[in-house]
Structure 1
Amino acid sequence: MPDEDQLGAAVRKLVGQVSHWTPPRWAASAWSGASRAALMHDLVQWMADRCAEAEGRPALPVPRLDNDLALPDQLQVVAADLRRFAPESVQADAAERINALRGAFA
């Protein structure tokens, strides 16, 4: 396996942790009192905002889909854009946030 960057590794681990979750598990409250789905969507939105900054375009809201099972896919898409456009420091910050969320979901 080729060397994987910090962001790619964090995304892969989080997706592996949550990709099999059912809707009730996504709806469960996390440590903050917010649902796990809300926390994941907030992370995806934060990453999308950083990507917009890096691209020099206005930030747009990430759609909050009716099916929480799409959240891992949204994370992967936004992370791919972030890896392409954002500086390494932003990517490292994103990886830290992803790893913190993984811990909160444990």
Structure 2
Amino acid sequence: MTDFAAAIDRLLNQVRHWQQPRWRSHAPATHELVQRLADLAADAEGRPRRPVPREHDMVLPDQIRVMADDLLAADPPPSVMAEAAEAVAALRAALR
């Protein structure tokens, strides 16, 4: 779980200061990660998957934090946490 938490912290440090023009090209992929984290948390909790509302781009860092916290609270198996950490790392690589 610490790998995932560290990956989230690195991602948030990378994007938290971005302004709207920079988000324009990266928001769709970032929202996909938010949705993926929400889906993993729902699966871990045995809840149905629901779409995460697509808010203003500047809200994406907050959505990442909330979905990451929800996933951590769900206490999924290590394989799910590894999958989530890989998804975060892939997004970070794509944002460079």
Q: TM-score, normalised by structure 2?
A: 0.94
What is the rounded CA distance, in whole Å, between the counterparts of 1:91 and 1:69 in structure 2?
26
Quick check: 1:101 aligned with 2:91?
A: yes
How many residues align? The count is 95
Larger Rg: 1
Counterpart for residue 68 of structure 2: 79
Give the superposed CA RMSD: 1.1
Identity %: 49
Cα offsets for 1:1-32 (capped at 9, x unmatched):
xxx8001000000000000111110002xxxx
**Structure 1 residue ranges without an equivalent (≥5):** 29-35
Q: Give, as a single letter, the amino acid of the residue that structure 2 aligns with 1:76.
A: R
Q: What does residue range 1-106 of structure 1 map to in structure 2 within 5 Å?
A: 5-28=2-25, 36-65=26-55, 67-85=56-74, 86-106=76-96
Q: Give, as a single letter, the amino acid of the residue that structure 2 aligns with 1:16.
A: N
Greater RCO, 1 or 2 (C-alpha within 8 Å, sep 6+): 2
The 4+ residue runs of structure 1 with deviation greater than 6 A are none
Of Structure 1 and Structure 2, the greater helix share is in 2
Q: TM-score, normalised by structure 1?
A: 0.85
